[in-house]
A and B are shown apart, each in its own frame.
Chain A
Amino acid sequence: MLEIIEIILTTPFLQRALIGAVLVALVASSSGTFLVFRGLSFMTAGVAHAALGGAALGLFLQESGLIPWFDPILGALLFAVFVALVTGYAGESGIAQKMEVAVGVSFALSMSIAVFLMYYIPPTQVPQIWGYLIGDILLLDNFDVVMLALTALTLVIITAVFNKEFVYVSVDMEGSLAHGMNARAYHYLMLITSALAIALATKAVGAILVYAILVAPAAASNEVLSSVRGVVLGVFVVALLSELAGIASSFAFRASPSAIAGILAAMSYVVAMQIKRHRERIRVSRQTEMKHSRIDRPFPEDKVVATAGSPGDDE
């Protein structure tokens, strides 16, 4: 135990990785949870890839000298917001399926733009675009950690203040509007902050880790836990444990921490499904037991009820 602490204290990149793990778990519990509630788990992948298109645009504008100050990360954020707005517009009526389609369309559009622009960017620069998706939690620099911390902090504050509104919008959009809440504003606020957080987290720790950590733990917790607060906490715990296990195992043998974390997070969903199915089986068997015991009891009235209720007599 002491040894581990000593290693951590003397290894800055490990410290950064651990802080990064906590921050990504925070992003997952405050953004991933609400996206899964909203039926929008696909938005994580959509936004991350759309950001790729944005990064390509930024690089193109820089390289071609059209707008030299246009950093690729700006482009990435811009495209992330674009996906959020299209998705939000499709979902103003509160129907989740429509939003999922909008994510798909805007994501495909952004990817096409990325690939289109790649023809006009010097080939040596192209890997930088793809690099946007393959950040690594063990390769974080101080700037990444600060950016990620600011992102997570902003997201956590917004979610802490408006979590009721986000839940209400997800549960009953029309009812929320009709009772006088500005539901549309919260609807967009939720989608845009999530999109920005996803884009920034992707830049820092890479797409694989973000997909795995934002979606699976939330889906798993939502299957088995029975309160909103429980799910938020459950996501944090599952996400953090998967990441820590990922980091730890990358020291034990040659493995990508993101991949291990992703596999573990996905496993948590499988386990949750099993638990849920098991619970349902218990419930069903209990119900059938109850029914049997009722039928087994020899009520004298049974006969009377049977003849009075026989079909054809009720007219």
Chain B
Amino acid sequence: MTESDILFKSENLWVKYPNGEVALHDVDFEIEGPSFIAVIGPNGSGKSTLVKTALGLLKPYRGHISLFGFDSMKETGEIRRRVRYVPQRDRIDLNIPMKVIDIVLMGRLLKKSPPRIASSKDKRLSMEALEKVNMDELWKRPFPELSGGQRQRVLVARALASEGQLLLLDEPLAGTDVESQNMIVEALRRYHEENDVSVIMVTHDLNPVHTLVQDVLLLQNTVIGVGTPCSIMDPELLQKVYGPDARVVEYAGHRYCVTRDSGIDRHA
């Protein structure tokens, strides 16, 4: 099979964990590329599960999921060659004193074969990626000694420095303050515009990336809605997922969702 125009596609996908928990069921959608996709939904709605299944890290219980038309189980290698992945931050082990620059280099060296020596180009691109998220001055610091938001920025830099047509980021904005958030969003926006790359970003808050995102996938263990950000910002859809507290407000021609956990003050 060769690469197709369909970036992200799922057919009757079910994912079940060994403990019997059905994390995803009846997942069907099709999104054309290139795109900037946001996967949203409350905690436990299966966002990380969807992404991991697409990467072949989890096996579908039923159905299929594909990236670029490559099946997650049968053509895993083709997918992984094209992807740069940032797992949810708590999946990174902080017991190892790796330097910031080594974490970023990891994104490039993982795509090489052993002995994975860093060339001067690798180092230059890694430093440039750190500059994009304003972390270049801390390149020598041990990664575990950074603050949560700083670590998140370094992980985004790791994805920016690497190669591959798709950036897959699991909650890159988790635990970041407004400043870090803006920096990450800005870096992703510029990178997406200047390069021929697609982005799939898991987030439980769409608002910070609202104007950047082209397609939204709203999950609650199955697909609740797919479409443009404003079409997903439908009060009925959102209340189905986030409960009666969800409100939709309009601001500068865009619709934003307001829930208790995102709060109104940020958009006022």
Residues on A lying within 8 angstroms of B by beta carbon are 36-39, 94, 96, 161-162, 164-165, 167-168, 170-181, 222, 225-228, 230-231, 314-315
Q: How far is the CB of A220 from chain B (nearest CB, A)?
A: 13
User: Residue on B with the closest CB to A169?
Assistant: B93
Residues of A contacting B97 with CB < 8 Å?
Answer: 222, 225-228, 230-231
Residues of B contacting A94 with CB < 8 Å?
Answer: 91, 93
Q: How far is the CB of B136 from chain A (nearest CB, A)?
A: 18
Residues of B contacting A225 with CB < 8 Å?
Answer: 97
Residues of B contacting A226 with CB < 8 Å?
Answer: 97, 99, 142, 145
CB of B93 within 8 A of CB of A168, answer no
Chain B residues 65-121 with CB under 8 Å of chain A are 77, 80-81, 83-87, 91-93, 95-99, 102-103, 106-107, 109-111, 114-116
User: Residue on B with the closest CB to A179?
Assistant: B110
Q: Beyond A164-B116, A170-B93, A174-B91, is A179–B99 a contact (Cβ under 8 Å)? A: no
Residues of B contacting A162 with CB < 8 Å?
Answer: 114
Instruction: Among A171, A181, A228, point to the contact of B92 (Cβ < 8 A).
Output: A171
CB of B95 within 8 A of CB of A178, answer no
Residues of B contacting A228 with CB < 8 Å?
Answer: 96-98, 102
CB of A227 within 8 A of CB of B109, answer no
Interface assignment of B146: CB less than 8 Å from any CB of chain A? no
CB of A171 within 8 A of CB of B93, answer yes
Q: Which of B77, B107, B116, B168 has most chain A Cβ within 10 Å?
A: B116
Question: Number of residues in B with C-beta < 8 Å to the partner?
Answer: 35
Residues of B contacting A167 with CB < 8 Å?
Answer: 96, 98
Q: Give 8 A-B contacts (CB < 8 Å), ordered by A residue.
A: A94-B91, A161-B114, A170-B96, A174-B91, A178-B83, A178-B85, A179-B84, A180-B111
Residues of A contacting B220 with CB < 8 Å?
Answer: none
User: Residue on B with the closest CB to A186?
Assistant: B114
CB of A39 within 8 A of CB of B55, answer no
Instruction: Among B55, B91, B142, point to the contact of A172 (Cβ < 8 A).
Output: B91
Give me the 5 closest cross-chain CB pairs, A-B, nearest first: A178-B85, A179-B110, A180-B80, A226-B142, A37-B96
Q: How far is the CB of A102 from chain B (nearest CB, A)?
A: 15
Bound-state CA distance A223–B175 (Å) is: 26
Residues of A contacting B114 with CB < 8 Å?
Answer: 161-162, 164-165
Q: How far is the CB of A167 from chain B (nearest CB, A)?
A: 6
CB of A179 within 8 A of CB of B85, answer yes
CB of A171 within 8 A of CB of B98, answer yes
Residues of A contacting B87 with CB < 8 Å?
Answer: 172, 174-175, 178
Q: How far is the CB of A313 from chain B (nearest CB, A)?
A: 11
Bound-state CA distance A247–B218 (Å) is: 66
Bound-state CA distance A180–B116 (Å) is: 13
- Known pairs A178-B83, A227-B98 / 6 extra A-B pairs, C-beta < 8 Å: A96-B93, A170-B93, A171-B93, A171-B103, A174-B52, A228-B96
Residues of A contacting B106 with CB < 8 Å?
Answer: 168, 171-172, 175
Residues of B contacting A181 with CB < 8 Å?
Answer: 110
Residues of A contacting B103 with CB < 8 Å?
Answer: 171
CB of B98 within 8 A of CB of A175, answer no
Interface assignment of B221: CB less than 8 Å from any CB of chain A? no
Residues of B contacting A172 with CB < 8 Å?
Answer: 87, 91-93, 106
Residues of A contacting B99 with CB < 8 Å?
Answer: 226-227
Q: How far is the CB of B210 from chain A (nearest CB, A)?
A: 22
Q: Which of B80, B83, B85, B142 has most chain A Cβ within 10 Å?
A: B85
Residues of B contacting A180 with CB < 8 Å?
Answer: 77, 80-81, 110-111
Bound-state CA distance A268–B145 (Å) is: 22
Q: How far is the CB of A190 from chain B (nearest CB, A)?
A: 13
Residues of A contacting B107 with CB < 8 Å?
Answer: 179
Bound-state CA distance A96–B90 (Å) is: 13
Q: How far is the CB of B191 from chain A (nearest CB, A)?
A: 18
Bound-state CA distance A178–B142 (Å) is: 24
Bound-state CA distance A170–B57 (Å) is: 17
Interface assignment of B265: CB less than 8 Å from any CB of chain A? yes
Interface assignment of B10: CB less than 8 Å from any CB of chain A? no
Chain B residues 131-186 with CB under 8 Å of chain A are 142, 145, 162, 168
Q: Which of A171, A225, A228, A231 has most chain B Cβ within 10 Å?
A: A171
Bound-state CA distance A54–B219 (Å) is: 51
Q: How far is the CB of A219 from chain B (nearest CB, A)?
A: 10
